[in-house]
Amino acid sequence: MIRKFIKWFITPSQKPMVEDIDLYAKIVELENRIANLEEENIETSNSLYELGNSIDAVDTRIDILTLEKWTDKDVRT
């Protein structure tokens, strides 16, 4: 029984170790995906920067408007 197991364990497998994969095509595909993701990342960063600037501008405008409306006589302490 042990001999049968050892013979089975040592004999080469009929299945190939590596499937037939075109590695170069996969590398090119991954490089293209990386380039697309980098472009999207730049676009997203720019959009977030623009939104941040818009929010800051609106916040500043709100502060100016509230300061114009509040005078010493309107605010009671």
pLDDT of residue 11: 78
Which is higher by pLDDT, 14 or 61?
A: 61
DSSP alpha helices (H): ranges in 11-22?
none
Model pLDDT, residue 15: 64
Higher pLDDT, 12 or 71: 12
More confident residue, 19 or 61: 61
Measured distance CA(14)–CA(53) in Å, rounded: 64
pLDDT for 2 beyond 90: no
3-49, pLDDT tens digit by residue? 888 887 787 777 666 666 788 888 999 999 999 999 999 999 999 99
Sign of CA dihedral 70, 72, 76, 77: positive
